[in-house]
Structure 1
């Protein structure tokens, strides 16, 4: 499994983690923004009117309303990416990463407009009477590329587990256990039953549930976030200034944060933006295909609102909470994950500017950094390392006050630890110390710096529960529509059973492998979709023109 995981990491490095991927993603959005003359700006007001049902037709084909299709799609995008993904982007790239998330969202509004319109246009009515749509349908019916459609559908099924199911369940269980002390298996089992009750009812029940969860979760989260922002209001201005100034210079070292180059912030900001709003990935068009309308362009306009709500509003609020509280650049006591911890060869000192610069080049993937992983033995007495020749580096920062134990914090280890290529060989050793933290843990800590104090972390736990659970609901629908395309309606029920079982299992499992698999699957979804909508660019422009001609005739 470790070899397979390393293979997936290599594939991710050549795909989503490669230097060219952000340019392809942003470039497609930029092209369509210019080609369609900034539809995300010109049609923004009209999109709100459509989603409120002002132009609805009672006899229009479909399974659900514009609003419910929007909330279903939003429930798939508004999730751990908004809580943990923003924190991870800032942890990696500093304040400038938030700017690139905004850029991804702004151009992504157009990308989503195009992909949803084309997918809705070529949707199918299945034998059971429900609508099925998504990029696989325009790839098959319009482009005559069955092989591409099949590859996209398979990637969607994989992503439904890797993005919408297993990591969401694991995140919920971990957060609830840390905050309330509930057993992860119990949490996973209870939520698994609730998940089954929702998704077994199909799109009608899914849309009904998400239309209630999405507004509620957004309200709870935003209120909690503003208690932190207002408590640290004097830091909001400097936070915005850092976002824009760092865009041109990269983020300088501050506190335990060693800094980030422009290129690194750009890459990580764009990648986290895609993970958050999924613009270009081809997932949201599957939800929008169920909307009751005979005007694909109208549904495409509804989707313009998604990246705006998801990234420009919710992710910005999360970013301001983290930046204004200052926790993103501070070291905190935590247990080191093996995937975050590296033992480097050499005695580097954080107080030494030359050493800091060397490690800065290392964490930003700058060629010629000269840093190597430590291989050898570490002598430990009562939990403390007493030998020399290595540096413990955790979460992209120098680790302080490191203690090795056998599980219990008071059961300090004494003996010899073997290290190969920067990794400890003993799996039962727990390593604790002070370092930077990231993801949902960073956001939860930031929420304690507001008017609610320590109680603020409960808002993140509840928000994460609602966000992640709604994401699992939406992605179950994406997966079952992909299964419908691949194997027909009869395959949907077995898929749903496996989906629920996976959700329960993931609550008590390590999903690192799944996250990496998902990262690869996301790109396998995104690249064919971007390629497909580019081939249909002329048809898209013609469809928009025809829509406005018809609309103006009907609404004089």
Structure 2
């Protein structure tokens, strides 16, 4: 009975109106910022590695991005993509791209506002995110909205996205592939999580900086190898993805989809769920980046959606569609696993399991920090140590608790995080535009000074040459 009620609420929260609102905010920022996800993407990608990291902050921009990616690149990139294709057909992948395209503008705005309105807590650490730009940007009268966001954030971290769903994904996949009992995996997982999160953001960021790039490269290289095996099928797979995105008859086949609306909803919902653009989670860690330009961190944050969906989810989608298994009986992780096992019979399933375990593990770390910052906003720094102990205890109990009600509740509060955040983004869109113009003018002026210096240097060299010849 309770599960039915929660599922009904879940369907209402994640209904078309939330997806339209999330997409609409992305469209608004895309227009107001002049297609920033296209015009400034080269600069954004360059900043990942060459940001100056000057200004207040706890960690450099690259670590902030890795920590954000640690939380967003999770089981959704392997399981979620396969589920979307199973439910809505290959065309769902194109709608994931569309959601990611507009989501990049949203993620930019979130990162920009996070730095603009960040605060310093009682321990001297940076705190930021939607709860702070709601209260600081919109005023004290909006604090109830910030409190709601923080409550939903703590619940999401402790009940689902950060704990049970990820831990169970790791345990079940390792049990199926390697035959290790869940309780053993859970014990090892608990120890690793405890060692890292008890060290705070610096420890989490260092772990993310080492694990995230490696796991992303491992997965991308593995999928590229798979696509080489399926090279003759890839062009047809791409054509099928584009065709099925707009063709109603394509969604009446043997899989679960029935209409183009199913395809659209599956793609957009899973795309947003994967990259979290608009949900308000990523700006919590973006606020900790060492930078004095909010827009600069906004650009770096924007690349998170690009990497998560445009690159990693696309890799999974192409693998699943190229394999031809999407219209069979497999679904979720078993569908992605089947695609790899078909291409590499001797080790394909091991690759998927290792990647899935790494993706889920880093998500546990990232969401721990998100929940902690939300709790600091609600109760202050005194809540940090008890929270970390409780978080570790939750991971330790994951092997014994598989309540569907908890997962349904987690999905609900995850969706509810979006509403306070989206309201703030809409009302503070003018601030984002002003910060963007100020930064771009600064970059333009800096580039002009560099050109003048180069020109003067060249002129002086030529004058010295003439003087020497004379």
TM-score, L = length of structure 2? 0.92
Deviations, residues 306-326 of structure 1 (Å, cap 9, x unaligned):
111000100011011111111
Report deviation, 1:155. 0.4
Q: Give 1:485's aligned residue.
A: 377
Q: Does 1:531 align with 2:423?
A: yes
The answer to whether the Cα contact below 8 Å between 1:22 and 1:270 also exists between their aligned partners in 2 is: yes
Q: Give 2:468's aligned residue.
A: none
SS in 2 for 1:163: coil
1:40-59 superposed matches below 5 A: 40-57=37-54
Q: Give 1:439's aligned residue.
A: 332
- C-alpha separation in 2, matches of 1:258 and 1:170: 25
1:212-223 superposed matches below 5 A: 212-223=210-221
User: Which residue, out of 200, 203, 217, partners 1:202?
Assistant: 200
The answer to whether the Cα contact below 8 Å between 2:87 and 2:255 also exists between their aligned partners in 1 is: no
- C-alpha separation in 1, matches of 2:10 and 2:253: 31
Q: Does 1:182 align with 2:180?
A: yes
- C-alpha separation in 1, matches of 2:251 and 2:150: 43
User: Which blocks of at least 5 consecutive residues in structure 1 are unaligned?
Assistant: 331-435
The answer to whether the Cα contact below 8 Å between 1:257 and 1:329 also exists between their aligned partners in 2 is: yes
SS in 2 for 1:142: helix
Q: Does 1:26 align with 2:42?
A: no
Q: How many equivalent pairs are there?
A: 445
- C-alpha separation in 2, matches of 1:251 and 1:183: 45
User: Which residue, out of 373, 387, 390, partners 1:498?
Assistant: 390
The answer to whether the Cα contact below 8 Å between 1:277 and 1:307 also exists between their aligned partners in 2 is: yes
User: Which residue, out of 80, 86, 89, partners 2:84?
Assistant: 89
The answer to whether the Cα contact below 8 Å between 1:228 and 1:449 also exists between their aligned partners in 2 is: no
Report deviation, 1:92. 0.5
Q: Give 1:245's aligned residue.
A: 243
Moved more, 22-31 or 510-519: 510-519
The answer to whether the Cα contact below 8 Å between 1:254 and 1:329 also exists between their aligned partners in 2 is: no
- C-alpha separation in 2, matches of 1:173 and 1:76: 18
- C-alpha separation in 1, matches of 2:186 and 2:323: 32
More helix by share: 2
- C-alpha separation in 1, matches of 2:353 and 2:361: 12
SS in 1 for 2:154: helix
Report deviation, 1:554. 4.0
Q: Give 2:461's aligned residue.
A: none
Q: Does 1:466 align with 2:358?
A: yes
Q: Does 1:133 align with 2:133?
A: no
- C-alpha separation in 1, matches of 2:74 and 2:240: 26
Q: Give 1:110's aligned residue.
A: 105
Moved more, 263-272 or 251-260: 251-260
Distance 1:269 1:258, change over 3 A: closer
- C-alpha separation in 2, matches of 1:106 and 1:252: 24
User: Which blocks of at least 5 consecutive residues in structure 2 are unaligned?
Assistant: 450-470
1:262-273 superposed matches below 5 A: 262-273=260-271
SS in 1 for 2:355: helix
Structure number with higher relative contact order (C-alpha < 8 Å, ≥ 6 residues apart)? 2
The answer to whether the Cα contact below 8 Å between 1:95 and 1:243 also exists between their aligned partners in 2 is: yes
User: Which residue, out of 284, 293, 298, partners 2:291?
Assistant: 293
Distance 1:15 1:467, change over 3 A: same
More strand by share: 1
Moved more, 492-501 or 130-139: 492-501
SS in 1 for 2:138: coil
Q: Give 2:74's aligned residue.
A: 79
Distance 1:508 1:454, change over 3 A: farther
Report deviation, 1:55. 2.9
Report deviation, 1:508. 3.6
Q: Give 1:173's aligned residue.
A: 171
Deviations, residues 75-98 of structure 1 (Å, cap 9, x unaligned):
111110101000010111001111
Q: Give 1:341's aligned residue.
A: none
The answer to whether the Cα contact below 8 Å between 1:167 and 1:514 also exists between their aligned partners in 2 is: no
- C-alpha separation in 2, matches of 1:518 and 1:94: 26
Deviations, residues 83-126 of structure 1 (Å, cap 9, x unaligned):
10000101110011111111111100000000111122111111
SS in 1 for 2:232: helix
The answer to whether the Cα contact below 8 Å between 1:40 and 1:304 also exists between their aligned partners in 2 is: yes
- C-alpha separation in 2, matches of 1:136 and 1:285: 10
TM-score, L = length of structure 1? 0.78
Q: Give 2:459's aligned residue.
A: none
The answer to whether the Cα contact below 8 Å between 2:114 and 2:287 also exists between their aligned partners in 1 is: yes
Report deviation, 1:296. 1.0
- C-alpha separation in 2, matches of 1:552 and 1:127: 38
Q: CA RMSD in A?
A: 1.4
Moved more, 265-274 or 255-264: 255-264
- C-alpha separation in 1, matches of 2:399 and 2:58: 32
The answer to whether the Cα contact below 8 Å between 1:118 and 1:296 also exists between their aligned partners in 2 is: yes
Deviations, residues 500-531 of structure 1 (Å, cap 9, x unaligned):
11112113421422221122112211121111
Distance 1:508 1:456, change over 3 A: farther
The answer to whether the Cα contact below 8 Å between 2:88 and 2:256 also exists between their aligned partners in 1 is: no
The answer to whether the Cα contact below 8 Å between 1:132 and 1:289 also exists between their aligned partners in 2 is: yes
Distance 1:255 1:247, change over 3 A: closer
Moved more, 478-487 or 160-169: 160-169
- C-alpha separation in 2, matches of 1:133 and 1:154: 15
SS in 2 for 1:234: coil
